[in-house]
Structure 1
């Protein structure tokens, strides 16, 4: 027998009797037909059908009719009308047709969104109850008197003896109410399938004794075929009625639980005074609305009236529809074969498509995505154009342009309604009095190639770095990896016995050389030091007064590409040298290179500089999570002007990161989005300094001691070219990284892992759920070409959307 034929025999409600001998048909029994007048005169069917249809349409389109989105709109503490301050709850008005709740949230909006959440929850619970009751009751009835029958009957009797609401509450809290809808489905199905199971068991026992089942056995039908083709069609009409009545029963218990304060999600805890907290719901659902308005039932009756009325209408509608169908079925025959017709299949397909749409748009995730996509590219570019304008002189550290940029950022935050302030930090800098020089020479002292400051190299005043000039051959010193981890000691000099660097420029690789080997190089007679590093931004900050009194020699940090150019004459590359270091059998090895270089650094006197951090705080709405801090940060100052007067606008580096932060803050405040966790928007000063404004912020105990760092995202160079976003996890768990990757996937933005730590402050913060550095591509500084016109507005907008969605979820969801 083919698979299709077997499936047809299983589902066809009519047995295949073609192999039986024809007999004389019995006298025909007149069929009772259902006519249109029976439907029109069936008052419960018409009213219940109208109510259920209206509810179905509200499930599909209700959120589109809501005045505001309750997932995003926060609470209103006060309203000012006609010279008077008012505190919520607000009575019905033109602005709020049904009034508001205690937090000022619009009741009509919550009812419309709650229709979807409440009815979908009830439908899932009802269908799961029906499936459990049908399967367990059918097995018990078919195998009457056996072990499974006794077990199911005993379970039904136990459940019937327990108080349903109390048991439901115990199960919900045991499974953690904060897990949402699945917990309610499990709890209400565990205790609610018994009555359906009893009915199905009784019907199976009755129908199993009917003579027509003997005919099925004669033609060779299996027990499963008998149950599906002959027993189920006989109880299907009653099951449809039971389903509708069960919807009403589930809605009733959801209302009862809600009135007792047990609702989907469990809500959030909000501090109402110095000693008390109140629980408020976050998922709009009718039962939750009743729980939130119970305390106001006498003084503000509209608060509890509307959700109670919604429950009443829905329960009445489903009960009336079930009663109407029962009357219709009793009046005439019900052909279950109609359910397999094309009209029924089309209707089932439409209902399934609508159900998929409802499920995909259920909960806060679609609202989060919609809010994330409201980023305005024109606003992003407006901020970038201001920060990169020539009037700000590249926003050099400690300059007037940087101060104006800081005040602009603060004023933007304040205009959005955020609490923002400037945080001053004192540092000491030393500036070159002439452009530092690094050149590759030939054997006769002629210049073969010159290198560019900031792009290829940068001077360093750390430890013994300072003014000086050196010209000579290069000696590469390579170390075994264990040497980099060895702390300085009195035996250090002896370890490098035989190392003679007199008259030479020494080359080291950052991370391979021991700490403070520059001192050892100077002792051994080196004229200058080249340190190979991916961070070649000038280090002109005096970190310790001890550095001012030390002997000096020129120290330059050079990019790996610059080092490769110097090593090329000997056929070497930095990557090969690092691999060679892993195989060393001695602590160190020195290699004289063919290259000659000239390096010159001339520095002025140290000067104090005031840095200005810009900080804006958005307090969390949930008292239980408000001490968790989500940090979104970017540094706002830039390279400024070169020593030759060249302007470095700093549009992508890092005007784009600041613009993204400002646009997210604007959008949140405009949409009244109020996260559960506190959010700190931080525009740091001195982003390229070894001790930046971010370092000073963390060193001050007051603010940092109050909060726990939950998640940190550093924004950097988001308007560059490249195939997609690049994210690097600096510390913490993978939760934030997974969330960021998922957010990019939802918005269709490519994302890869990797990237670099561009600035020292980006390694400081330790977010418990993760610390990320986000860029578009992995760009190098563009310096003079880093103008607003070269920023890719589409990449910047898409990056801002992904960052926005990640921050919305990280700041609002208790778990992610």
Structure 2
């Protein structure tokens, strides 16, 4: 007979786990058990994963891992060791105990990996594996295997600790790690080292050796089993691991290849793509097709496999296209304004001459409520997306639209492709200075207009001419090339390296928009990486898809078409590094945009590569939309890499090869090449 003194505890029993919990945690416990059993079953049952046998040893049939759950900190601490730090949520005794956060209001998906880690840690301890770093490392690594979202969430935090230790040469011995210090941050640091050591152990010796070690391990002969499995003592492994971590586990040969990034060769690609021969590389044009052929010819030279349609490098997709027949005109009160200086075109109607002529009406109310603008040209400050402004004006029967933008003349000469829009009307965007010149002769001021009624007819008449060829169907081309993975267990996983090769073409007055930084720089960087890998005989373990998107300037149509019609299994894509504007920027840092909880692993290796290269890289929250956004929308980690403040000359004639900074291009190329090698390898 035995007696239990303590809170009332209920029991849930599954195939691999037994959970005990107070009644207040009943809903959480049921969801936790369901998630744990499902993930374990998937992990053990997936024959394609060499980790399956390893997980099977940790979670054998018939053995139930027991965890007691608590939602009251006081009760949890009364049932654990008095020396347990105040921050601790886990007790690895018998049984394992875990304190859920927020009084039982926790998210089961967030708690499940920690519960699993506690259970495995305790199971290893009862098996006789007393070495702390090995237990904590195996437990954390197992949680990462079964909960990839959890792994991504903590990847960057772990790497920050590891890289800091490497940078300041403060890598501890594994035997000195303290997993229950008074400081929570110190505990996370210790567990990061343990996780990394197990990761390095598996990378160096393979799953088979680890499985052999666990199979041979018996009480009291752990050191002998370790030596038999891995061919060295734990002390020797410790020294080997610390020496590798000092270089962020990046093989010296990888660093040598990355440092061989040839900036001069890359600049030649940029000069070619930005030259008048390619006429601004607008999607669906002869210049765009020439650029595609140039890229494909180089991919052939670098021995990458075609991954497009019908055994080619090209994935064709339709786009609607047109072009300006003449230079747009904008005239008010008989005064012509200068194209590219005072105004630019934004849209043209389908199947129409593209002429709007009539009285101007100032529209202060952006909702256009109760307005009938029949036969009028609406004028207003551009507050939202131009497409929305055009649609609203057209719905209220305006025949034309003038949008005012407060921008300098230098930044105003930006260009965007005309995109078909059912509600399009002749629309121009003008500078605020041009608007002031327009209204001053007839006695209006900006202050008066800003305090006017929602709509105010002006004593001004204007004419807008945006004459285009009839809308038609054109063909655009994504360019896709595959470097197959060399590891049978990882080759099905695909890392995408991408950039967009299209730009905005040539203006009707003959001005070329070269697009050197945006995004010939990204394209040229990928081409140089492909050459480096080919000539350096680098064979990634994971497959790498080099993707050059078309029609990005039209709203990421190329990457959108690929994600809807992938030429490789989209579910096999494990990450995307998208390069845009990587050769110039007003800031001092190369920027990697992403969510730490989603793109953590991608950004971690970019940081590690930057530290190894001695380059500057900063992590930022996602701000800019682009080709990478389509992948993030499908739950695929995707990071945008660009230079800080790199959009000053975007889509302007000033974006020339001469405006680029070769030092920044070299830094970008070396960091991205090295990070991509590690992401495709480790």
Q: Please say if 1:526 is aligned against 2:398.
A: yes
Q: Please say if 1:176 is aligned against 2:146.
A: no
Q: Please say if 1:640 is aligned against 2:505.
A: yes
Q: Which has the larger radius of gyration?
A: 1
How many residues are paired up? 483
Match of 1:511 in 2: 384
Match of 1:457 in 2: 344
Q: Please say if 1:476 is aligned against 2:324.
A: no
Match of 2:667 in 1: 798
Match of 1:381 in 2: 267
Distance 1:672 1:499, change over 3 A: same
1:700 Cα offset (Å): 1.3
Q: Residues of 2 paired with 1:644 and 1:556: CA distance?
A: 16
Match of 2:467 in 1: 602
Match of 2:616 in 1: 749
Q: Residues of 1 paired with 2:301 and 2:556: CA distance?
A: 30
Distance 1:661 1:357, change over 3 A: same
Q: Please say if 1:652 is aligned against 2:517.
A: yes
Distance 1:801 1:501, change over 3 A: farther
| TM-score (norm. length: structure 1) | 0.49
2:302 aligns with one of 416, 421, 437 = 416
Match of 1:446 in 2: 335
Match of 1:812 in 2: 681
1:381 Cα offset (Å): 1.1
Asked whether the equivalents of residues 686 and 692 of structure 1 are also in contact (C-alpha less than 8 Å), the reply is yes
Distance 1:598 1:423, change over 3 A: same
Distance 1:608 1:741, change over 3 A: same
Deviates more, 1:699-708 or 1:724-733: 724-733
Match of 1:435 in 2: 327
1:249-306 deviation line (CA, Å, top 9, x unaligned): xxxxxxxxxxxxxx95377xxxxxxxxxxxxx632699969989xxxxxxxxxxxxxx
Q: Please say if 1:554 is aligned against 2:459.
A: no
Asked whether the equivalents of residues 613 and 684 of structure 1 are also in contact (C-alpha less than 8 Å), the reply is yes
Distance 1:558 1:653, change over 3 A: farther
1:614 aligns with one of 479, 482, 486 = 479
Asked whether the equivalents of residues 178 and 264 of structure 1 are also in contact (C-alpha less than 8 Å), the reply is no
1:658 Cα offset (Å): 0.6
Distance 1:655 1:465, change over 3 A: farther
Q: Residues of 2 paired with 1:362 and 1:774: CA distance?
A: 23
Q: Residues of 1 paired with 2:510 and 2:679: CA distance?
A: 44
1:661-711 deviation line (CA, Å, top 9, x unaligned): 111222233333344443221111222124632222222155354434x33
1:762 Cα offset (Å): 5.1
Q: Please say if 1:714 is aligned against 2:578.
A: yes
Q: Residues of 1 paired with 2:652 and 2:289: CA distance?
A: 20
1:603 Cα offset (Å): 1.4
Asked whether the equivalents of residues 416 and 504 of structure 2 are also in contact (C-alpha less than 8 Å), the reply is no
Asked whether the equivalents of residues 725 and 749 of structure 1 are also in contact (C-alpha less than 8 Å), the reply is yes
Q: Residues of 2 paired with 1:779 and 1:682: CA distance?
A: 26
1:501 Cα offset (Å): 6.5
1:639-667 deviation line (CA, Å, top 9, x unaligned): 33332333333322321111011112222
Asked whether the equivalents of residues 460 and 557 of structure 1 are also in contact (C-alpha less than 8 Å), the reply is no
Q: Please say if 1:787 is aligned against 2:676.
A: no
3-state SS of paired residue (1:697): helix
Q: Residues of 2 paired with 1:742 and 1:567: CA distance?
A: 57
Match of 2:552 in 1: 687
Distance 1:175 1:562, change over 3 A: same
Asked whether the equivalents of residues 371 and 396 of structure 2 are also in contact (C-alpha less than 8 Å), the reply is no
Q: Residues of 2 paired with 1:470 and 1:702: CA distance?
A: 48
Q: Residues of 2 paired with 1:161 and 1:640: CA distance?
A: 69
Asked whether the equivalents of residues 554 and 599 of structure 1 are also in contact (C-alpha less than 8 Å), the reply is yes
3-state SS of paired residue (1:794): helix
Q: Please say if 1:397 is aligned against 2:283.
A: yes
Q: Please say if 1:283 is aligned against 2:204.
A: yes
Distance 1:366 1:465, change over 3 A: farther
Asked whether the equivalents of residues 172 and 184 of structure 1 are also in contact (C-alpha less than 8 Å), the reply is no
Q: Residues of 2 paired with 1:451 and 1:396: CA distance?
A: 20
Asked whether the equivalents of residues 725 and 752 of structure 1 are also in contact (C-alpha less than 8 Å), the reply is no
1:370 Cα offset (Å): 4.6
Q: Residues of 1 paired with 2:231 and 2:397: CA distance?
A: 88
Distance 1:165 1:711, change over 3 A: same
Distance 1:564 1:675, change over 3 A: farther
Match of 2:568 in 1: 703
Distance 1:358 1:679, change over 3 A: closer
Q: Residues of 2 paired with 1:419 and 1:752: CA distance?
A: 33
3-state SS of paired residue (2:553): coil
Match of 2:535 in 1: 670
1:508 Cα offset (Å): 5.6
Which residues of 2 match residues 104-143 of structure 1 at below 5 A? none
Asked whether the equivalents of residues 438 and 599 of structure 1 are also in contact (C-alpha less than 8 Å), the reply is yes
Q: Residues of 1 paired with 2:211 and 2:126: CA distance?
A: 28
Match of 2:631 in 1: 765
Q: Residues of 1 paired with 2:663 and 2:433: CA distance?
A: 30
1:510 Cα offset (Å): 5.2
Distance 1:356 1:784, change over 3 A: same
1:27-77 deviation line (CA, Å, top 9, x unaligned): xxxxxxxxxxxxxxxxxxxxxxxxxxxxxxxxxxxxxxxxxxxxxxxxxxx
Asked whether the equivalents of residues 298 and 527 of structure 2 are also in contact (C-alpha less than 8 Å), the reply is yes
3-state SS of paired residue (1:648): coil
Q: Residues of 1 paired with 2:553 and 2:207: CA distance?
A: 53
3-state SS of paired residue (1:812): coil
Match of 2:120 in 1: none
Task: Give the root-mean-square deviation of aligned CA atoms.
Answer: 5.2
Asked whether the equivalents of residues 554 and 601 of structure 1 are also in contact (C-alpha less than 8 Å), the reply is yes
Distance 1:773 1:285, change over 3 A: closer
Distance 1:792 1:594, change over 3 A: farther
